[in-house]
Structure 1
Amino acid sequence: MKKLDRLPTHDEFSHVTDWVFDLDNTLYPHHVNLFSQIDRNMTAYVSALLSLEPADAKKLQKDYYRDHGTTLKGLMIHHGIDPNEFLEKAHAIDYSIVPPDPTLGEAIKALPGRKFIFTNGSVAHAEMTARALGILDHFNDIFDIVAADFVPKPAGETYDKFMSLHRVDTRNAAMFEDLPRNLLVPKTLGMKTVLLVPRNFEYEFAESWEQSGDEDEQIDYVTEDLAGFLRRVIADL
């Protein structure tokens, strides 16, 4: 497991002009566990769609997530579902559990250059989550699964689409993510990569394949405190 011992320095972030953030378990910490509500909604959707018992529906849901990047993509490929209906039902959740994070908001606001949310979820979900955190107004744009034509990260074509749309020079960009596999392409493209992990690496709500390991060479930094990490970057810029 990678350690939390590499701190950002002026030399390594002074060139960054585009800051790209995943949403779930990245802009808010893992222990908030907002995604558990979406998880339950997806299981219920799969159960109703395929007349499966909840346990079987959950297993299939997770298999599609692992194999296709999102449960949605697997359902589209294998069952031809309406993606917009799925997204609406999956994101029918209570956002009040997300606590405001003014420290994070100030840190993001102070970053030089543009800031983006790049998510496998929907714009509506990203907006509701970022608004609850109190950080929505600090972003230039949100690139969601609809903009990606429902092809999720970690597909290279989706990163290409995002970078092309916003004319991002990847050599001057940084990517923040909670899934190691979603940092493979950014690292290859020359971006600085930062992995968000739970406190003390306690992956209570994550699948084993979602977790960081010693072999994750695509990861430049690991942090359990996004606001603290960004504040140190700002201090050095």
Structure 2
Amino acid sequence: MTLEADKAPVQTSFADIDTWVFDLDNTLYPPHCDLWPKIDDRMTVFMADMLGLDGMSTRALQKYYYRQHGTTLRGLIDEYDIDPTKFLQFVHDIDRTSVEPDLDLHAAIAALPGRKLIFTNGSREHALRTSERLGIEKLFDDVFDIAAAEFVPKPDARAYDLFFARHAIVPGRAVMFEDIARNLIIPKQREMTTILVVPKAGDMDHREGWEIVRDPPAHVDFVTDNLAVFLAALVAELA
């Protein structure tokens, strides 16, 4: 179901929601901020330096690890037992000045009843620095990052189970916002309400081709290309 700007996405189940879970990259900030390509390029540089490969070979291997292991980092841990801290520090050392405060998003998240959490395959520092640029960092109760998930990334079920346990989440009373459809499979199986956040028509789309779904799969309850509008409509109906 695609959300229209003037149509509230409320179901009866939203009235019982007490936990709102947000992915970070390309979910809380729009793709035109261009942060993900910067991180993606840093991964390539890290791997090229580490393995001594040319750029094209490194890129291909990086994308293979991402698809097969959930993240490039997980692939490097499994194959080379690398230090994840050094990797995360390097790839998240980027310019974030393209991210500007989002007053509408701040107002919409602040108005949600219950807890708000960030659940990211990135690092805690990256989530905090990026949400600070958006002006929303103080709205979240916590950040559950890849280290908290013991470096097991979404979409692996173990990552979600660690997340649920850490925060005593009742999935049937929680909502998850994500830009990658496969990362919503386990949440839906656990009875969370799922929302896929996609780029606006004509905007940049930094997802891999195989990640882009033309029609919402059964495990996606809602699709929106404007998170702030979606949340504002939802809050208005809950009021």
Which category of TM-score, normalised to the shorter sequence, fits these structures?
over 0.9
Task: Give, in angstroms, the shift of residue 72 of structure 1.
Answer: 0.2
| Range that drifts further, 220-229 or 24-33 | 24-33
Identity of matched residues, %: 47
Q: Does the aligned pair in 2 maintain the 1:187–1:193 contact within 8 Å?
A: yes
Cα deviation code 1:86-141 (max 9, x no counterpart): 00000010111111101101111110000000000000000000000000000000
SS at match of 1:171: helix
**Structure 1 residue 145 displacement after superposition:** 0.2
User: 1:134 aligns to what?
Assistant: 135
Q: More deviation in 6-15 or 101-110?
A: 6-15
Q: What corresponds to 1:75 in structure 2? A: 76
Q: What does residue 188 of structure 1 align with?
A: 189
The aligned counterpart of 2:157 is 156
CA apart distance, 1:200: 1.4
Amino acid at match of 1:13: F
Q: Secondary structure at the match of 2:63?
A: helix
Q: Unaligned 5+ residue runs, structure 1?
A: none
Cα gap change, 1:22 to 1:186, in 2 (>3 Å): same
Provide the rounded CA distance (Å) in 2 between the counterparts of 1:211 and 1:72: 22
Letter in 2 for 1:52: L
Q: Name the CA shift for 1:43/1:160 in 2 (closer, same or farther; >3 Å).
A: same
Q: Supply the distance in 1 between the matched residues of 2:59 and 2:208 (Cα, whole angstroms).
A: 12
- The normalised TM-score by structure 1 is 0.96
Shift of 1:31: 2.0
Tell me the distance in 2 between the aligned counterparts of 1:153 and 1:132: 24
Q: State the 1:201 CA deviation.
A: 6.8
Q: Which residue of 1 aligns with 2:10?
A: 9
RMSD: 1.5
Question: Compared with structure 1, are the counterparts of its residues 134 and 81 closer, same or farther at alpha carbon in structure 2 (3 Å cutoff)?
Answer: same
Shift of 1:203: 5.5
Instruction: Report how many aligned residue pairs link the two structures.
Output: 236
* Residue number in structure 1 paired with 2:20: 19
Whether the aligned pair in 2 keeps the contact of 1:107 and 1:230 (CA below 8 Å) is yes
Give distance in 1, aligned partners of 2:82 and 2:234: 43
Is residue 186–residue 193 contact of structure 1 (8 Å, CA) maintained in 2? yes
